[in-house]
A and B are shown apart, each in its own frame.
Chain A
Amino acid sequence: MSKKSLISIRDFTKEEILHVLETAKEFEKNKEQKFLEGKVIASLFFEPSTRTRLSFETAINRLGAKVIGFSDATNTSQSKGETLKDTIIMVSNYVDMIVMRHPLEGSSRYASEVATVPVVNAGDGANQHPSQTLLDLYSILQTQGTLEGLTINMVGDLKYGRTTHSLLQAMSHFNPKFIFTAPEELKMPQEYKDFLDSKGIEYIETTSLDEHLNDCDILYMTRVQQERFTDPMEYERVKDVYRLEASMLSGVRENMKILHPLPRVTEIDQDVDDNPHAYYFKQAENGLYVRMAIISYLLGYR
């Protein structure tokens, strides 16, 4: 099998997406499948991330492979001025696969072109985070029984929020409808709306969280991420714009589930956590099975 990387959700066809989701179901049923014994996988986190790193490293361990790597770039030779290319080529020689997160956008694509082993992008700045997208799709599939013909209401930071952009691209295979709930400052960028127009996919834009709460199958909440803002005043204006509380959920569709890539801050009140519509903690758990499936697929084992 030739080297295949996962850098952007667009690297996977609809068939590959569905295949990985099916494989993830198997891993959810049986977490102990150590068929990667003897493999070594690098986990290169040039930027800190607790959730994604632990999820990937757990997935690697559950598959029986060993992990090498770092969780912070300050103690690496990058801090001595080594180029990304040299680091990646060097690590390529040691391992069977590289999982990397890097603050620069496009860094993972570049790494995949200089590496001799598959690269999985675990987040490149505000650009792509495809394993998050696949776990979002898996969560939608598991809660709705299908990916076809659903209405997804995306809420919060739709301008800088890469998870919403990638989810939109991935869902475009499955005849969705979208509702974009965002303040003026954080609206869905034009390029993504152009993309939907080109595919003939319907979307509605609103600034009010209440307006379409009862019209969706998936409520995809996002955090307004301070670290993505270049203008601190803009962040102050919009940081607390939406707050979902349990009392707002009385009229929602029965099948409706609330997703959130986590961490959440104030956008979902704690009183929602025990509500039957809340799914975000289970969603995070799903990340493990999906990452096991991604790694197995790229290494040619599933």
Chain B
Amino acid sequence: MTRKELVVSALENGTVLDHIPAENVYKALDLLDLKGIGNQITIGINLNSKAQGRKGIIKVEDKFFEDEELNKLALIAPQATVNIIRDFKVVEKKKLSMPKEVIGIAKCRNPKCVTNHQPIQTRFATVEKDNRISLLCHFCEKSTEIKHAL
């Protein structure tokens, strides 16, 4: 009989962000503004995953995100799953949807873009082509690949 054991400890109440590409876990913490908060957070990186090989997971105690906030995660982890936990049970599973606009968090890669020279909040439209996401700058109209923008 195989012994089933959780690699990362279970949550009583909170949100589990699973199937994040292992290399994007730190970016995910940034995107969801989790670095400064006081909640208990468990992070797993390079966990074995049948589907992904190596995956990352983030568990945040007593935190329930707005959908709009969660959807930012789709930019770097479109396959991620979100489980809402109450009293140790999964009460809801959520799928992420790609945000249409990305405001403030990304950086335009065009060195001549006005947002890189003036105190302006960046603004992008997301463009999906051949399963790749890029960001189209609202100001300079240039597109930046997601891995260069975040």
* Chain A positions near chain B (C-beta within 8 angstroms): 8, 83-85, 102-107, 109-110, 124-128, 191, 194
Are the CB atoms of A104 and B114 closer together than 8 Å? yes
Q: Which A residues lie within 8 Å of B138 (CB)?
A: 106, 109
- Among residues of B, the one whose C-beta sits closest to the C-beta of A102 is B114
Q: Which B residues lie within 8 Å of A83 (CB)?
A: 118-119
Smallest beta-carbon distance A98→chain B, Å: 15
Q: Which A residues lie within 8 Å of B110 (CB)?
A: 105
Sorted nearest first, the 5 A-B pairs with minimum C-beta distance are A106-B139, A105-B140, A106-B140, A106-B114, A104-B114
Smallest beta-carbon distance A106→chain B, Å: 3
B132 at the interface (CB under 8 A from A): no
With A109-B138, A127-B141 already in contact, the answer to whether A104 and B129 are too (CB < 8 A) is: no
Size of the B side of the interface (Cβ < 8 Å), in residues, is: 18
- Among residues of A, the one whose C-beta sits closest to the C-beta of B122 is A106
* Chain B positions near chain A (C-beta within 8 angstroms): 108, 110, 112-115, 117-120, 129, 137-143
CA–CA, A104 and B110, complex, Å: 10
Q: Which A residues lie within 8 Å of B137 (CB)?
A: 106
With A8-B141, A127-B141 already in contact, the answer to whether A105 and B118 are too (CB < 8 A) is: no
Name the residue in A105, A109, A127 with the highest tally of chain B Cβ atoms < 10 Å from its Cβ.
A105
Number of A-B contacts (CB under 8 A): 53
Q: Which A residues lie within 8 Å of B112 (CB)?
A: 103-105, 125-126
Smallest beta-carbon distance B35→chain A, Å: 29
Task: Identify which of B129, B141, B143 contacts A106 (C-beta below 8 A).
Answer: B141
Are the CB atoms of B141 and A107 closer together than 8 Å? no
Smallest beta-carbon distance B101→chain A, Å: 15
- Among residues of A, the one whose C-beta sits closest to the C-beta of B139 is A106
Smallest beta-carbon distance B133→chain A, Å: 15
14 other A-B residue contacts (CB within 8 Å) besides A8-B141, A104-B113, A106-B141: A84-B114, A85-B118, A104-B112, A105-B113, A105-B140, A106-B108, A106-B113, A106-B138, A107-B139, A109-B114, A109-B138, A110-B118, A124-B140, A127-B140
Are the CB atoms of B143 and A105 closer together than 8 Å? no
Q: Which B residues lie within 8 Å of A8 (CB)?
A: 141
Q: Which B residues lie within 8 Å of A85 (CB)?
A: 118-120
Q: Which A residues lie within 8 Å of B117 (CB)?
A: 104
CA–CA, A107 and B108, complex, Å: 13
28 example contacts (A-B, Cβ-Cβ < 8 A) are as follows A8-B141, A83-B118, A85-B118, A85-B119, A85-B120, A103-B112, A104-B117, A105-B112, A105-B113, A105-B114, A105-B142, A106-B108, A106-B139, A106-B141, A107-B114, A107-B118, A109-B114, A109-B138, A109-B139, A110-B118, A110-B120, A110-B139, A124-B114, A124-B140, A125-B112, A127-B141, A127-B142, A194-B129
CA–CA, A84 and B113, complex, Å: 13
Smallest beta-carbon distance A124→chain B, Å: 8
CA–CA, A106 and B138, complex, Å: 8
Q: Which A residues lie within 8 Å of B108 (CB)?
A: 106
CA–CA, A13 and B120, complex, Å: 28
CA–CA, A83 and B119, complex, Å: 8
CA–CA, A155 and B21, complex, Å: 45
Q: Which A residues lie within 8 Å of B120 (CB)?
A: 85, 110
Smallest beta-carbon distance B145→chain A, Å: 12
Smallest beta-carbon distance B110→chain A, Å: 6
